[in-house]
Structure formats: C-alpha cells, structure tokens
Amino acid sequence: MKIAVFSTYHYDEEFLNRYNTGHELTFFTLALHADTAPLANGFDAICIFVNDKVDKAVLEILKAAGIKLIVLRCAGFNNVAVADAKAMGITVVRVPAYSPEAVAEHAMALILTLNRKTHKAYNRIREGNFSLERLMGFNLHNRKVAVIGTGNIGKAFCKILSGFGCKISAYDLYPQDEVKAMGVQYGTLEETLCDADIVSLHCPLTPETQYLINQKTLKLFKHGAMLINTSRGALVHTKDAIKALKSGQLGALGLDVYEQEGDLFFHDLSEGIIQDELITRLISFPNVLITSHQGFFTQEAIGEIARVSFANIDAFCNGEELKNKVD
C-alpha cells in the first residue's frame, strides 16, 4: 500500500521505517490541512498525527485523490470528521493505547517540577545561586489529587499516585472496579474538584468535555490548587485559566497540550515572534510550566505507535477485523 505520512520528524521516519511491514511510505514534514491535502494524490492511505486537520473539506479532497484509509498514529480522533469519513467510504483507524505509562509519568513529572521547583533550582545553581528562598514545596503524601478520567492513562496515573501515598478521588462516567480496588473514591465532578490539592485531566476531548475546566468549574477548585493537563488542550478554557492564575484561585498550571497548539507545538519558533497572545501570557507566569505535547514521547510509546499502526494497515489490506476502527 502507498501511504503518505504527514507531520513527520526524524523520529517518526526512524520508527515507522523500523516497523514497516512492507508498505511504500512517503514522508511529509507538512501538516495535513486543506492546502496540503492534494499531496495525497496517488496514494492509497494517509498516516496522520494529533494536529493534522481532517474536516469535511479535506475529506472531499482525499476522497477525490482515492484515499481509502486514514491511519491515526495517536489515540485521539477529535481532529477527524469521522462521520463524514464514514459517509464517504473512508476507513479511520487509530492507536488506542500505545503507552499509558508514558503520559501518566509525564503528568507526574509536571507535578513534581511545579511543586518542588526543580526547573528554577537548576537555573539558579547554574548562575551560582544556592539560595533556597521561594523554592519551598509540599509533600505529596496524604495530599488529595483529583483524577478526571480513569481510562488507560488515568488508571496508570492513579497507580503512580498510590505509590506517593496520595489520597485519590476520581470522576468518570464509567467507574472501573480495578481503579476502585486501589482505594480511589469516585464522585461527581463537583465533589471530585472541590477540595483537591491537584487536579489532573485524563479524559478525551468530546463536545461534552470541551472547556470542562472553565470559569464556573475553576471556582470549585480549592484556592491555590494545581491543574495539570496532558490530554487535549481544549479541555481547558485558556482565558479563564489565566484569570484564575491572576487571582490566585489557581496556584499552578502544568500543560503538555494547548488548544491552539497546532501552529506552535513541534516547531522551532525561537527566531521569530510568537503571535499567540494567550500562550505568551501563560509563559510569563512563574507558576506555569508548559511542555510541547511531550507526554507520549518515549521509545516504548513511539515503537508501539508504529507497530499498531502497521497492524491496522495490514488488517485493512487483508480484509481482517479492524479492532481499532473509529466509528
């Protein structure tokens, strides 16, 4: 099968070539959108990532180009108009669980860094400043952490929190017995948020969860609580989060995702002027830590993404059951 692979970097090429099961791959560094969709002409399938945009207009171009399969090398599929793809006879597959531990561990890394201020200590020491002033954190032991979403990643995150001796509460429309067995207490969203020291988001982006964290829900937070988002940027209403940071209602914010990240993340913009005023405002806060959608980025996760992607492609080519089909 001839496959056009969009939004690629050297690590994508390395791992996709390593796990390739005999398909013809052409790599494009460009993201997929209406202007770049014509590049798919002459291919049977496309392989895309989180910031590629596949709306109805793009799908029409892909359909005309003869694309039969869209291979998502990620778990989320909110960037694809799935219903329109189905109506056009284009199959969509994804990688539902490549390494839950990778993202869960990154969420904990954000918490530890923000809390113990190791990023600031690192810079101080390099400048010869060995002072401990303004570096005080708090013990995670016995602190309440609210986990919003207890799917594969949320469950892995709960296991990590258990090791730190945290008190864990959770909100999920579908509570899991395995998570309950860890001692996690499920409740309503309001109950889960109200007295947590840390709130960590691990739910997908859907019409129901868009801007789940907004002016109203931020008021439910314990004053000075920490918010962590390693899921999807649009779970958090950025302007409302900035207001909460300014008032002190939000004590710290750790982001690995951002609702307008498509024009920013994965790119080197160090020689230019960033035009996004919201993210430049966030960067200016001393209690905000932003990473560039890095949570998934481990050897194990990238390898699993490549392996499952080709398994999906092979199943499609062989007319086998598509276990990871998105309907």
Any idea which residues carry the catalytic annotation?
Answer: 232, 261
Identify whether the C-beta of residue 167 lies closer than 8 Å to the C-beta of residue 144.
Answer: yes
DSSP state of 236: B
Other C-beta atoms closer than 10 Å to the C-beta of 291 total: 17
Name the burial class of residue 19, with classes exposed (0-12), middle (13-18) and buried (19+) by CB atoms within 10 angstroms of its CB.
middle
- For tokens 């913009």, what's the residue? 269
Structure token pair of residue 181: 């067995």
Identify whether the C-beta of residue 225 lies closer than 8 Å to the C-beta of residue 211.
Answer: no
Identify whether the C-beta of residue 193 lies closer than 8 Å to the C-beta of residue 220.
Answer: yes
Structure token pair of residue 138: 């708090």
